[in-house]
Each structure stands twice: as structure tokens, then as C-alpha cells.
Amino acid sequence: MSFKLDKRIYPLAFLGALVATLCDGIHVHTKTLSYTKPFLFGQAWWVFPLFVLTFFFMGTAYLFISDRRGANIPVQQSTSAGSARELAETIITFGLVYMFSGFGNYQPVLLSVIFYGAFAIRCFFSYERSWLLILSVSMAIGGMYAEGMLSYAGQVNYRHTDVFRVPFWLGAVYMHGAFALREGMRYFVYAKKAP
């Protein structure tokens, strides 16, 4: 099985980066985090380009891993065409979780309980839960680690930190983002025939 970069991921990467950059702006505004060298609206110049690369990487990894997963992990619906309604629904939910994390960052334990609990409920009622769990846990660990490395490099600082120099609730934000990534892949990538 050969693998090549898929240009159908580009719109997903740009939409994801736009949403994440706007949501990151909420974190800056609420002082959930701060950048050591702000450029525009309190954000560093590299925020949007890094989000584009991040979403391109996540989309590419989604394609790669979904093609090579074990037979006991179903992905038929997760790799089928999706709808704009489902994509909008998951983006709005992700945006709300992100927004609440900004305005509720003074209560990190409560945020963690609410966010991880809400994820468990959403996952329970979702389809192909094993694939969703692999995706969401990978995103949570990878996202927290990457943001922790940015913090260790002196580029960003969170008001409250628990693990990897980031708040524990941040993992749950990434986990809710897994729903949006899955629906974004279904809408932008799997809905279109490969060239």
C-alpha cells in the first residue's frame, strides 16, 4: 500500500487553523495563556501557520492510520462522506468547549471534570467509538505535549499548569476536537473522489 500527500486536506487545514486561531484569541483575551512575543491581538505571528501545519499533519495521520488499522477497529462510517450539518455541529461544539475553557480557566478542576465527562457522554452516543478513542487520546497527548514543548521553549505560558506545563483540561479540549476532525475529514476528504 503506497501513501502520498492528499491535497483534499488543504481546505480542512485552513478551516481548522482559522477556527483554532480565533479560539486561541479567546484564551489570550481571558488571559488563559500569553505569548512571550505577541504580534497581533496578543498572539504570536506563528500561531496561524502552526495551526495550518498541525491540521494538515492530523488529517494526513488520519488517512494513514485509518488505512492501516487493525480489522477489529471499524472505520467505515468515519471514512465515508459526511455532511456540512455534521461538520458545523462539531465545530460549534468544539468552539464552545474552547470558549468555556477560556472563561472558566480559574476553575481548572471543574473544567476537567466537565470536559472529560462531556467527552465520555458524547463518545458513548457516537459511532465507531474505538476509532474515536484512538483519535481523541492521540490528539490529547500529542497536543498537550506539543503545547508543553512550546512552553518549555519560552514561547507561550499558561496561567494554570498541571502536566507538560499545560492545564489538564487542555487534553479534553483536544478530545472534543477529535469529533470535528473526524467530521472535517468526512466532509472535505472522503466526500470527494481521489484525483
Contacts of 48 by beta carbon, 8 Å cutoff, 6+ apart: 17, 18, 21
Burial label for 124, CB within 10 Å (0-12, 13-18, 19+), is: exposed
Report the first-to-last Cα separation within the chain, whole angstroms. 17
Q: Is residue 1 predicted with pLDDT exceeding 50?
A: no
- For residue 71, the model assigns a pLDDT of 86
Nearest-CA neighbor of 171 among 103, 120, 106?
Answer: 120
- The cell for 173 is 479540549
- For residue 143, the model assigns a pLDDT of 97
* Mean pLDDT estimate for the chain: 95
Is 164 in contact with 150 (CB distance < 8 Å)?
no
Q: What percent of the chain has pLDDT over 70?
A: 96
Is 144 in contact with 177 (CB distance < 8 Å)?
no
The verdict on residue 53 lying in a domain is yes
The verdict on residue 1 lying in a domain is no
- Structural domain harbouring 166: 9-189
Tally of structural domains, the chain: 1
What does pTM read for this prediction?
0.94
DSSP string, 82-145: --HHHHHHHHHHHHHHHHHHHHTTT-HHHHHHHHHHHHHHHHHTSSSHHHHHHHHHHHHHHHHH
The verdict on residue 165 lying in a domain is yes
- For residue 5, the model assigns a pLDDT of 72
91-139 confidence digits (pLDDT tens): 999 999 999 999 999 999 999 999 999 999 999 999 999 999 999 999 9
The verdict on residue 159 lying in a domain is yes
The verdict on residue 195 lying in a domain is no
Ranges 15-24, 63-72, 103-112: which has the least confidence: 63-72
The verdict on residue 21 lying in a domain is yes
Q: Is residue 2 predicted with pLDDT exceeding 60?
A: no
The verdict on residue 2 lying in a domain is no
- For residue 102, the model assigns a pLDDT of 96
